[in-house]
Amino acid sequence: MNDMSQTVTETESVIAAAEKRRQRMRSVAIALGLGFLVMMFYAATIVHLGANVANRAI
- Output the pTM of the full model: 0.64
pLDDT tens-digit map of 11-21 = 778 778 889 99
Cα(20)–Cα(12) distance, integer angstroms? 12
3-state SS of 10-48 is HHHHHHHHHHHHHHHHHHHHHHHHHHHHHHHHHHHHHHH
In the chain, domain spans? 2-55
Q: What is the pLDDT of residue 28?
A: 98
Under the banding of pLDDT at 50, 70 and 90, the label for residue 40 is very high
Cα(44)–Cα(36) distance, integer angstroms? 12
Under the banding of pLDDT at 50, 70 and 90, the label for residue 8 is low
Measure CA 2 to chain center. 41
